[in-house]
Amino acid sequence: METIVKKWGNSLGIRIPSIIVKNKTLHDGICVEIIETENGILISPKQKRVLSEMLEQVTEENIHNEIETGAVVGNEIW
């Protein structure tokens, strides 16, 4: 199947034919991942991230310190 690469602003875009979209989990507005491989480009729906999996990636080396933002202003106290 062929499609044409077209200029879209400063980037390039492609249209995904409807025959491919019908059988996949793609739809208008979905976030996708684009991975450059040795043989071409792979486009796939971005997997939803699970909080527990993200927290597993936090280590002593990559955790940041608390950030001081100054005195309380307005209705910020909970």
More confident residue, 50 or 72: 50
Mean pLDDT of 55-77: 86
d(CA 52, CA 15): 35
* Structure tokens that stand for 25 in this block: 């989990």
* pTM exceeds 0.75 for this model: no
Is residue 78 in a domain? no
CATH number of the domain encompassing residue 49? 2.10.260
Is residue 63 in a domain? no
The one-character DSSP state at 40 is S
The domain of 30 spans 6-56
- What pLDDT is stored for residue 78 in this prediction? 60
- Token pair 């602003």 in the structure block, residue: 9
Is residue 48 in a domain? yes
Is residue 23 in a domain? yes
Chain mean pLDDT for the chain: 87
Chain segment 2-34, per-residue pLDDT in tens? 889 999 999 999 988 888 888 767 888 888 999
- What pLDDT is stored for residue 47 in this prediction? 82
Counted domains in the chain: 1
